[in-house]
């Protein structure tokens, strides 16, 4: 296919605005998927994606479209997620495209994630096509939503496309519009081969399969491939396109989106953001990659059975292969054994990774409470990054602690008179600590706005704050995995809330179990799990009172010994109880 007849585009939208359904109709209309094989959310292959009704991983698919004048075009669609935690997938898709469909629900209008994704797309200087979806619904207000898109983004009224992805209204016109308005790729066919890796997966036979956007030149099977960042080279096993299943072809040319089966076995040998070139005629300049993502939320992942540690490590490495935002670091806890400290972009990201490990790799996990990373300025001038409360240095060596701050954008219906009376929706912007976001903020926002508000956030940097570490002691033994970092004003309340929740979460033993919260050497809260009392007098029917006393004294001595050597098992519910601090607030 000539480069002038290739169009690379993606679909960006807020969650649940019809992005996956739009992709389904494209596959159907272009004949990419036969009618008998068509199913809803066709590109969402993961069970988790289907159950939750969200896109987690971006997908690529090549389609053929014939315009009314009889000319065939190759359309390369990269489907993207809509949830705020997966915005890194959106940025990678944008780097591989020349155009984007900005999809907005005709019943809900512009949402927070719509604004965020549009601003992201504008950084890549892309051709944006505004699309209002679900126009056939009884509650649809396409004209109001078109006015919102003009107001928020400056689109002209004649640029807006009105469609219904479910019924097919306006879909042929939208495909023709993509051909007309999205520019063809600008790669040079006669230059040395260069391709940007925008995603990857692992195959036990073909090794790492790199999803690529070819910028210049061409690549064929059996060519020698070179990774520009590392200099590693290998013979290409297969090249192909997604139509929508991986389909081998003879050659990948400039401007195309496809895949290269590299044969690499180590996940570090071909990373997302790398530039691939041809070893026999290499390029000297790599393509601009991606900004390295910094994890925002951290949690410990431990196998419930210690013997599964090696399986957990292998599973995490495979997930990391096509999830550049997941960070992994081995750690050891006295209470939980060997595991990993993992970094995520948000709570949804953490939840998805946990479910994938449990489902796809059949692992039983213990997940510690999520925390955020802090910057600690030491008295010697050194700055260290602390993502685990147990690693916070001694207070005597700390000059200040800085916490991560978010810029929050909330879009909500104008039912409370916050904005102009003529405005249907209000956009509010705030700054808040990331740690407060973990404390049930999103659920509270939804419940207080009857589910109508939408939220997006961006990382704005670190700010000094009066923070202290709250340690939890179970039976006088510190449990590192239960430590938290809290604002000094709230630390005592958080400590008290924690020990109260732990008292009901930890099962009763044969001896009393004290649960304490401490800040430094000061105990700020205490609860006690009462001992299970065994009736040692059950078989004493009457008789001498001294015999009964002797049995009770013997029981008392036995409990003392158990208290000294007894090990308290802390169940998973105890760690989850940390998540629920702030529910009542």
How do residues 179-227 score in pLDDT, each as one tens digit? 999 999 888 888 899 998 877 777 888 888 888 889 899 989 888 989 8
64 appears as a binding residue in the annotation: no
346 appears as a binding residue in the annotation: no
20 appears as a binding residue in the annotation: yes
SS3 15: coil
Per-residue model confidence as pLDDT tens digits over 550-564: 766 776 665 554 444
- The reply to whether the predicted model has a pTM over 0.85 is no
80 appears as a binding residue in the annotation: yes
- 34 burial (CB, 10 Å; 0-12 / 13-18 / 19+) is exposed
79 appears as a binding residue in the annotation: yes
583 appears as a binding residue in the annotation: no
Q: How confident is the model at residue 7, as a pLDDT?
A: 93
Of 110-119, 136-145, 387-396, which range is least confident?
110-119
Per-residue model confidence as pLDDT tens digits over 486-498: 888 888 988 888 8
Residue 363 pLDDT more than 60? yes
Q: Residue 239 — pLDDT band, cuts 50, 70, 90?
A: very high
Q: How confident is the model at residue 175, as a pLDDT?
A: 94
CATH topology match: 3-181 vs 194-278: no
Q: Residue 543 — pLDDT band, cuts 50, 70, 90?
A: low
134 appears as a binding residue in the annotation: yes
17 appears as a binding residue in the annotation: yes
CATH tag, 297-369: 3.30.70.870
Q: How confident is the model at residue 37, as a pLDDT?
A: 59
Q: Residue 229 — pLDDT band, cuts 50, 70, 90?
A: confident
- Say what percent of the chain tops pLDDT 90: 18
SS3 536: coil
76 appears as a binding residue in the annotation: no
The domain limits of the chain are 3-181, 194-278, 297-369, 375-465, 469-580
Q: Does domain 194-278 have CATH number 3.10.180.10?
A: no
182 appears as a binding residue in the annotation: no
Q: Residue 292 — pLDDT band, cuts 50, 70, 90?
A: low
Mean per-residue pLDDT, 74-93: 65
Residue 411 pLDDT more than 60? yes
CATH tag, 469-580: 3.30.70.2570
Q: Which residues, in sequence order, are CB contacts of 13 under 8 Å at separation 6+?
A: 19, 82, 102, 103, 104, 113, 114, 117
303 appears as a binding residue in the annotation: no
- 351 burial (CB, 10 Å; 0-12 / 13-18 / 19+) is middle
230 appears as a binding residue in the annotation: no
135 appears as a binding residue in the annotation: yes
Write down the architecture of domain 375-465 according to CATH.
2-Layer Sandwich (3.30)
CA-to-CA distance for 207 and 198, rounded, in angstroms?
17
Write down the architecture of domain 3-181 according to CATH.
3-Layer(aba) Sandwich (3.40)
16 appears as a binding residue in the annotation: yes
554 appears as a binding residue in the annotation: no
Instruction: Kindly tell me the sign of the dihedral angle through the C-alpha atoms of 503, 506, 512, 515.
Output: negative
Residue 322: count of CB within 10 angstroms of its CB: 20
Residue 161 pLDDT more than 90? yes
């Amino acid at each position: 296919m000539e480069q002038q007849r290739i169009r690379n585009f993606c679909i960006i939208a807020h969650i649940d605005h019809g992005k996956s359904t739009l992709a389904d109709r494209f596959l159907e209309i272009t004949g990419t998927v036969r009618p008998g094989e068509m199913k809803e959310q066709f590109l969402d292959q993961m069970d988790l994606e289907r159950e939750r009704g969200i896109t987690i991983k971006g997908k690529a698919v090549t389609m053929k479209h014939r315009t009314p004048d009889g000319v065939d075009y190759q359309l390369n669609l990269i489907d993207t997620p809509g949830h705020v935690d997966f915005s890194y997938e959106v940025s990678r898709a944008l780097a591989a495209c020349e155009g984007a469909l900005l999809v907005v629900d005709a019943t809900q209008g512009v949402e927070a994630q719509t604004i965020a994704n549009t601003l992201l797309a504008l950084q890549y200087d892309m051709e944006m096509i505004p699309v209002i979806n679900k126009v056939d619904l009884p509650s649809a207000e396409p004209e109001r939503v078109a006015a919102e898109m003009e107001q928020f983004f400056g689109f002209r009224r004649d640029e807006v496309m009105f469609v219904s992805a479910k019924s097919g209204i306006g879909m042929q016109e939208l495909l023709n519009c993509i051909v007309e308005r999205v520019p063809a790729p600008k790669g040079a066919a006669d230059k040395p081969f260069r391709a940007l890796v925008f995603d990857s997966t692992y195959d036990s036979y073909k090794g790492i399969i790199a999803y690529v956007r070819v910028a210049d030149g061409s690549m064929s099977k059996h060519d020698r491939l070179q990774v520009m960042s590392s200099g590693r080279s290998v013979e290409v096993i297969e090249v192909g396109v997604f139509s929508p299943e991986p389909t081998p072809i003879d050659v990948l040319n400039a401007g195309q989106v496809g895949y290269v089966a590299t044969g690499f076995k180590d996940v570090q040998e071909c990373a997302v953001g790398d530039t691939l070139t041809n070893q026999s005629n290499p390029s000297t300049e790599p393509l601009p990659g991606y900004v390295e993502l910094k994890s925002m939320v951290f949690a410990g992942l431990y196998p419930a059975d210690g013997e599964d540690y090696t399986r957990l490590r292998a599973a995490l490495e495979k997930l990391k292969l096509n999830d550049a935002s997941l960070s992994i670091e081995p750690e050891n806890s006295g209470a939980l054994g060997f595991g990993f400290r993992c970094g995520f972009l948000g709570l949804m990201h953490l939840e998805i990774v946990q479910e994938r490990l449990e489902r796809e790799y059949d692992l039983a996990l213990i997940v510690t409470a999520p925390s955020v990373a802090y910057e600690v300025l030491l008295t010697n001038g050194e700055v260290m990054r602390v993502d685990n409360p147990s690693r916070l240095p001694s207070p005597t060596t700390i000059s200040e602690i800085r916490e991560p701050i978010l810029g929050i954008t909330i879009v909500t219906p104008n039912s409370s008179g916050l904005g102009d009376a003529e405005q249907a929706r209000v956009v509010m912007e705030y700054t808040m600590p990331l740690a407060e976001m973990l404390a049930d903020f999103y659920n509270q926002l939804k419940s207080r706005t009857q589910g109508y508000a939408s939220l997006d956030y961006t990382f704005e940097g670190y700010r000094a704050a009066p923070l202290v570490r709250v340690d939890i002691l179970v039976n006088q033994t510190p449990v590192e995995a239960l430590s938290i970092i809290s604002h000094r004003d709230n630390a005592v309340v958080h400590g008290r809330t924690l020990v109260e929740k732990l008292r009901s979460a930890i099962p009763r033993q044969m001896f009393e179990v004290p649960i304490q919260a401490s800040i430094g050497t000061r105990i700020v809260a205490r609860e006690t799990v009462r001992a299970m009392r065994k009736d040692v007098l059950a078989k004493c029917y009457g008789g001498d009172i001294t015999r009964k006393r002797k049995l009770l004294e013997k029981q008392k001595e036995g409990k003392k010994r158990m208290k000294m050597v007894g090990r308290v098992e802390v169940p998973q519910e105890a760690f989850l109880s940390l998540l629920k601090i702030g529910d009542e607030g």
